[in-house]
Structure 1
């Protein structure tokens, strides 16, 4: 009997992908805190998750340049990338990054990523245990 990893792993594989891409975006915001004209970006998690689940149901598609290339891949939909509304008045340089907000969001995102990782670890342990008992 074949194991469906999509069913076995649930939503955690998608949440980890979104969380890792959000971490990159938040780190970019922090790195550009002093860049004139830089606008802070974030991800609409609910919309990104919905897009990831729908791509799972219809199958992930990548453009293949050769018939021997594998199908697959997961990439964040650009429509879920948003510019954040600034909490502070413009300082004159057009930069909308609030470093405290970005740091707090980064830490929160890291904790949520870690939680998804622990859930996935539990799922893999369960699969490993189930496969181990099959051979006995």
Structure 2
């Protein structure tokens, strides 16, 4: 029996994603003047694709069952940005875009934290008996 369904776990993963995105954006901003630095991004699609491409080892009880194999995956979700313009020094960081991404990520983070706070407040109310 799972007491909290998967909502809190899902919100935790959303906070992990937001934290990873914040770190990557901060690295990009810190390296805005570094020659030949390639801007990075965190992609939910890349994380999802990694999970979907992973195979798992399973016991087969019937010859008609599919074979599953475990494969190691690369660092999840962190990718080099594609289709970007490079500065004269080979750097691909666009400071205005990074600042906009940071603001968007902050709004996302705030929304997720508000939702998880609401979940905990609901649990607290249930524990207190509605008082």
Q: Fold-level match, TM-score > 0.5? A: yes
**Runs of 5+ unmatched residues, structure 2:** 52-73
Structure exhibiting the larger radius of gyration computed from Cα positions: 2
Structure-2 change in CA distance of 1:14 and 1:31 (3 Å): same
2:24/2:40 contact within 8 Å kept: yes
Correspondence list, 1:104-123, <5 A: 104-123=100-119
Counterparts of 1:37 and 1:101 in 2: how far apart (Å)? 18
Structure-2 change in CA distance of 1:15 and 1:94 (3 Å): same
What is the TM-score when the length of structure 1 is the normalising length?
0.69
- Computed over aligned residues only, the root mean square deviation of the Cα atoms, in angstroms, reads 2.6
Aligned to 1:14: 13
Counterpart check, 1:100 vs 2:96 = yes
Instruction: Show structure 1 runs of 4+ deviating over 6 A.
Output: none
SS of structure 2 residue aligned to 1:11: helix
Structure-2 change in CA distance of 1:6 and 1:17 (3 Å): farther
Higher RCO, 1 vs 2 (CA within 8 Å, ≥6 residues apart): 1
Correspondence list, 1:8-47, <5 A: 8-47=7-46
Displacement of 1:51 in angstroms is 6.6
Aligned to 2:63: none
**Runs of 5+ unmatched residues, structure 1:** 53-76
Matched residues, number? 109
